[in-house]
Amino acid sequence: MVAFADPRTGKSLRRVGATLVSEDGAVYPIVQGIPRFVSQDNYAAAFGLEWKIHSTTQLDSRTGTSISRERFERCLGQPI
């Protein structure tokens, strides 16, 4: 069995149904088998921010390399 700790206190969490509960009563849902320690809104906002900041980070046209193209060709098994 995997043990989880409250991200705020570091103390153990216990499973109660589809949630993890801390000693002080904080409740963390388990969604499709994955414990959620941040709200859905918080996750979406953080992802959106990262996407805006790094939207062109891996574009070959931006970096002047052919890394993405080479990897795609390698995974595809043939040149594009």
At 16-58, the pLDDT tens digits run: 999 999 999 999 999 999 999 987 777 777 778 888 888 888 8
* H-only helix segments in the chain: 40-53, 60-63, 67-76
| pLDDT at residue 64 is higher than 90 | yes
pLDDT of residue 80: 78
Sheet-wide strand order for 27-31: 14-16, 19-21, 27-31, 34-35
| Interval 67-77: pLDDT, tens | 999 999 999 99
List residues bridging with 34 in a β-sheet: 31
SS3 34: strand
**β-bridge pairing 14-16 and 19-21:** antiparallel
The distance between the two most distant Cα atoms of the chain, rounded to a whole number of Å, is 58
